[in-house]
Amino acid sequence: MAKVAVPGNGNVFLLDIEGTTTPITFVKDVLFPYIKDNVQEYLSAHWEEDECKQDVHLLKKQADDDSKHHRSGPVHSFDQTVHTDEEKAIQEVVDNVLWQMAEDRKTTALKQLQGHMWRAAYTTGKIRGEVYEDVVPAIRKWRRLGMKVYIYSSGSVEAQKLLFGYSTEGNVLELFDGHFDTNIGAKVESKSYQRIAESIGCSADNIMFLTDLTREAKAAEEAGVKVAVVVRPGNAELTEEEKSHYKLITSFSELALPGSA
Ligand SMILES: CSCCC(=O)C(=O)COP(=O)(O)O
Ligand SMILES: [Mg+2]
């Protein structure tokens, strides 16, 4: 496959995780089932702790917002205040989390709780973050050339740091200059990419965003960010129009950097 040229003014890489640095199967077959299998037990064990209370508070705010916008059935909009029965209250949160996951929602509330739950799984060695083998060598090369590398994922910053801190490649957190999650905005909104450029302190067209999802690529492009769509096994199929519109790569090694051989 011909190399995809990174524009001459591009000196910042912004990387998606699921489907880009990491197989979708790791997220769908390892990370998400861990949440489904453990959420009830986790909430029961941590219910009285501040961190857990904050997570539940955020989930409740999201559920209230969803109800207002008719996004969920009544069972998924829980109201802790009416519950004296802890078990029932926990069950409502569990139902909400499972419903959000069935819808593959990327709410900050869901992602925050998930990040906290994965902490124990990573630190006890139960799971290790899967990273495609072309990713670390490519990033090391980019960094040698003076480029900056950031992550932007729907997974919380804490979840991102766990994935790369306890990865199949070891602790590779030093490869990243920073992390962004949905606290900066949704990945399908172009404003989020403008905010990221402001936060990094560069113009949008200095950034090259790599993602598997064209709805994210489109939003980034609208903000003036350069994009390439990453084609990995198991990623969503692209239409012929998408294939001809976007620069496509199947490995990070296919990116040709300005001034490099
Ligand atoms: C980084 S933690 C696990 C991934 C996750 O929860 C997720 O929603 C992936 O979203 P992405 O934006 O990286 O495709
Ligand atoms: Mg992705």
Same fold across 4-22+129-256 and 28-123? no
Angle at 42 between CA 37 and CA 48, to 5 degrees: 160
Task: List the residue whose alpha carbon is closest to atom 6 of ligand 1.
Answer: 155
Tell me the binding residues: 16, 18, 153-154, 187, 212
Residues with CB under 6 A from ligand 1: 16-19, 27, 31, 106, 111, 114, 153-155, 159-160, 163, 187
* CATH architecture group of domain 4-22+129-256: 3-Layer(aba) Sandwich (3.40)
Distance 229 CA to ligand 2 centre (A): 10
Q: For the residues 172-189, what does the mean pLDDT come to? A: 98
> What pTM, to 2 d.p., does this model score?
0.90
Residue 166 to residue 126: CA distance in whole angstroms = 10
28-123: CATH topology is 1.10.720
* pLDDT tens digits along 90-119: 999 999 999 999 999 999 999 999 999 999
Q: Starting at the edge strand that comes first in sequence, how are the strands of the sheet with 247-249 ordered?
A: 178-180, 148-152, 12-15, 207-211, 226-230, 247-249
- Complex ipTM, two decimals? 0.96
Task: List the residue whose alpha carbon is closest to atom 2 of ligand 1.
Answer: 155
Say yes or no to pLDDT of 82 above 70. no
**Domain coordinates in residue numbering, the chain:** 4-22+129-256, 28-123
